[in-house]
Amino acid sequence: MPNLETNVFGAALGDDNVAFWEQLKAEIETPLDARTESDVARKAVLERLGIRKGAPTKADVYELDRLTLEIASDEEVIAQAPGLYRKYCHERGEPINPDDPALNPPQASDTEKLKALRARMLEILRVLHWSYTFGPIRERRRVRLIKEPMLVMVAATIIMVGLVAVLRSMNHLSLRCSLP
């Protein structure tokens, strides 16, 4: 689960996201294939990471996750697609569609379907990162919306009990004074 930083756009990452950041960096630094275009892309990403200043943010994690997927070999994309789709369905609470292209990846030789699969996976990745970023914000707001009215209700109850006690004691005093 992502960290619960208040300012998610520029906030430093929590331990869980730092570990994910390090894992993504390791994937880029240790390629599984030796394709020339992958090497060029990996070197560009690593150079970009070296230029960055300061601690990584959630936006950096998302960017690195996208880049990792974009430069992955076709075989890696085919292998990752079903798992990423299942995670997406689990996180979103959606039923698994057996016809989804991510669940039935194409052969590595079908380049058009592979492009569509990469696009589908990037969309899934975008939705997952969106959920991980804004889910904690919605949860904090929900908790605040429950907590504040509860405090008001407790305060109102205490005031009412106090008011009833005062009125009752005044009523007892007035009854005793009026009796001969």
Q: Does position 158 have pLDDT exceeding 90, yes or no?
A: yes
Reference 61, options 24, 98, 113; nearest CA is 24
| pTM of the model as a whole | 0.56
Reference 10, options 63, 51, 60; nearest CA is 60
**Domain extents in the chain:** 15-139
The Cα 62–Cα 126 span in angstroms is: 8
Q: Does position 36 have pLDDT exceeding 90, yes or no?
A: no
- The per-residue pLDDT for range 115-141, each reduced to its tens digit, is 888 888 888 888 888 887 777 778 888
Task: Supply angle C-alpha 152, 156, 161, rounded to 5.
Answer: 150
Write the DSSP symbol of residue 30: S
